[in-house]
Each structure stands twice: as structure tokens, then as C-alpha cells.
Amino acid sequence: MVTATTPKITAKDYRVEHANDWCPGCGDFGILNALQQAVAGLGLRPHQVAVFGGIGCSGKAMYYLPVYGVHTLHGRVLSFATGAKLANPELTVIAVGGDGDGLGIGAGHFVNTGRRNVDLTYILFNNEVYGLTKGQAAPTLAMGLQPKSLPEPNIQGQINPLLLAMAVGFTWIGRGYAYNVKHLVELIQKAIRHPGLAYLDVLQPCPTYNDLHTRDWYAGKDRGDGRPRLYLLEKEGYDPVIPADADAATIAAKTQQFIAKAQEWDDRIPLGVFLENRAVPHF
């Protein structure tokens, strides 16, 4: 029982002594760290949290948390998470997985989960490659790019997960960066507090296989003027909220604004809350 005398929970309470097989420098560590701080910061105790992992490097995150941790089937993480939330609405349910898991094999589940505004948070570790299986092209890798495992440039087009999430009905959509832990903690907490289905895309450098979109690339070190590529939406006055009583014109304008921001890439890459739609009833 959580009582007045229960000691305050800290990120330390969310650490687990367990061998971790992520590569040194992997963005996954930043996301795990942010997740631990986010749930602790919300005052949640480990038994109040269930984390569902997909298959891939990212899906193992649940093994490093002392919560109810469920390693699910490839591409099915959202189905498990939905079931758990419906069975126990008191639980804080978080699904974690990679771009391959969620947008390749799991694309059908991604799409149909969007149709049900269940109160859960989906954190997608977006590194554009299949890290666990040695760096093949994932569905988020743009056509023509050639990370080091590919023998030829990518011949397939990419999925923009933010646009897809909006098209299928996710009511909270954000993007974080694995090495900006402080900002990521805030985003995860906002996503959890959102009373509906939240999609949080996290740009996650994979130092082992993605030699294109590295920490240095995001920092803009390859550019002459050294301008960082990442910027925060909230610093530019972007307002993601569709109010509960929004009229059709407001919804249309917000949608336009969202689409424009979700397509920014390369030169300037926005981080932050892209959409917070309060006009859709939740489960």
C-alpha cells in the first residue's frame, strides 16, 4: 500500500541489477534513464507500472526495470498493452519497441490501436535500422540512404511515424531525443499524464549500425556553420493542443500545422509535443 509514510520514490528505485547487453553508447541507455526518472518523478511505485516490450534491442528495456515487465511477441506489443490496460485501468501502461517491431511487422497493430483511444503510452525507439539483427533497413529509413550494413542504398520508401500516428488516431504525439534525457523525461511524463493514447517517437542513435544519423549528425557537426539540427517546438511558441470543444476549423488548422511540423527533417528537426488532441473521448 502507498501510505503517507511510504518513502519518496526516486529513479534509484527503478534500477535493476541485471547484465545489460546493449552496445556501449547506444541511445537506448538514455531512453531507459529517462523512463526511470519519469515514472519515479510521477511518484509511481514499481508495482503500479507495467512495461511491455516488443522484439528488438529496444524491447529489452523492460528487463531493466523493476516493474511488471512483459516481453511480448514481435509486432504485438500494443495488443498486449491494450489488454492489460483494459483488464486493470489503474495500471500505468507503457509499451516500448523499435521501428521495425512497431512499423514493420506490427504496422497493423499500430494502425488499429490508433482507432481506440486507450490510455497508454507507446515509446518507439527510432533508429532507422534493425539493430538486433545487424543493421538492415527499417521502415523509417529514407529511400536512398545507405547505413553501413546495407550493400546498396535503401530501395524502399520510409514511413513517417508521426504522420501515420496522427492519421490513425493517436491523440498525443511527441518526439524526443535519446541524448536529451532531461527533455525526454518531461515528454514521457506528459505522454503518461495524457488521458488517452500517446505516441512518443524517440530519435535513438544506434552507434553500431546507423553511421548516418549519429549523435554528431543530430548536433549538426557535419555542417559548415555547425548549426544543431534539433530544436524544441515549445521554444518557438508551437501550440499542440486541440481543445475539447474545438470546432471543425480549429481542428483543420491544427492538423495542417501538425503535418507541416511532422515533415520537417534534415535541416531542422523538431522535438517536443506535436499534438495533444483533447477532442476525442478516451476508453
Partner 1 sequence: MVTLYQRGGPATGMPTRTEQGDLLFAIRAGHSETPRLVLASGDLVEAFYDAVQAFNYAERYQTVVVHLVDKALASTTCTVPPFDLEAIRIERGELFVPPADTDGRNGYKRFALTASGISPRALLGQPGGTHWLTGGEHTELGRVTEDPGVREQMMEKRARKMELALREIPREEKFKVYGDAEAPFTVMSWGSNKGAILEALQRLADDGLAARLVQVRLLWPFPADDLQPFLDSADPLVVVETNYSGQFAQLLRAQTGRASDYLVVKYNGRPISGEELYRALCAIARGCDERRLVLRNPWE
Q: Which is nearer to partner 1, 45 or 215 (CB)?
A: 45
* Single residue of 9, 26, 120, 202 touching ligand SF4 by CB under 6 A: 26
Site track for ligand SF4 across 105-134, x = CB under 6 A: ----------------------x---xx--
Cα–Cα dist 243/14, whole Å: 35
- For partner 1, the binding residues in 40-79 under the rule CB under 8 A are 45-48, 50, 62-63, 66-73
- Residue 68: CB minimum distance to partner 1, A: 5
* Single residue of 57, 67, 141, 184 touching ligand SF4 by CB under 6 A: 57
**Residue 126 touches partner 1, criterion: CB under 8 A:** no
Collapsing DSSP states into helix, strand and coil, what is residue 273? strand
Contact (CB, 8 A) for 196 and 146: no
Stretch binding ligand SF4 (CB under 6 A), from 22-30, 164-172, 211-219, 244-252: 22-30
Element (H, E) at 190: helix 181-193
Cell of 148: 553501413
- Residue 53: CB minimum distance to ligand SF4, A: 13
2: left (phi over 0), alpha (psi -120 to 50) or beta: beta
Task: Tell me the three-class secondary structure of 203-236, residue by residue.
Answer: ECCCCCCCCCCCHHHHCCCCCCCCCCCEEEHHHH
Helix residue ranges, H only, 7-152: 27-41, 77-87, 99-100, 107-114
Q: Which is nearer to ligand SF4, 26 or 39 (CB)?
A: 26
Residues near partner 1, by CB under 8 A: 1-2, 6, 13, 18, 45-48, 50, 62-63, 66-73, 84, 87-88, 90-91
